[in-house]
Amino acid sequence: MIAKDACCVIDPVLIEFLYYEPCSTCPGARKYYEVYLHNSRVVAEIQVDYGDKVVVNWIPFFSDERLEKVKQYNFSLGDWNSIVVNQETVLLGGDKFVNETHVREVIDFLISPPQVLVHDISVDCVVPSVHKISIGEVLDVNVTISNRGNYTESFNMAVHLNDSVVGQLFVKI
């Protein structure tokens, strides 16, 4: 496990790459070889770029482990050079180049848990212009409000004098 911050611990993302390097000079295999080169480069760069945030399991296509994965993910024999992220997101290889941007977006989503919205509005200070007032006199009130949360807040703020509302203002902070 790796530490995300002081309050959260995040497991690394698991990348399974079921790879097969076909013949680069065999008739009809050139496309599959190019897919192998592309998809293996994507996996290798992700492994380097994300460091300990991802664990990459390189699974040879002709191995017992690959046979288990074929059953687990319902792969066909032509699905070599496929990438599986966290045993959920399957990006088929075969004759298909994986979209590196898409793979990285999936990984980024998995290593950055959704942000929890925190509502935390506070009235920090209320300062009247005078402490005594007579009927008909003007009273100014300065109110300092802080948003210590991570969500933009909108609300109506009312100033009361005894039981009467003497001022109201729409606030967005």
> What is the per-residue pLDDT across 47-66, written as a single tens digit (0 to 9) for each?
999 999 999 999 998 889 98
CB-based contacts of 22: which residues, under 8 Å, 6+ apart?
A: 29, 32, 33, 36, 80
CATH 3.40.30.10 fits 2-111, yes or no: yes
The DSSP output letter for 113 is P
Residue type, 92: L
What is the structure's pLDDT at 8? 52
Name the residue ranges covered by the structural domains of the chain.
Answer: 2-111, 121-172
Write the pLDDT tens digit of every residue in 156-172. Answer: 898 887 888 888 888 89
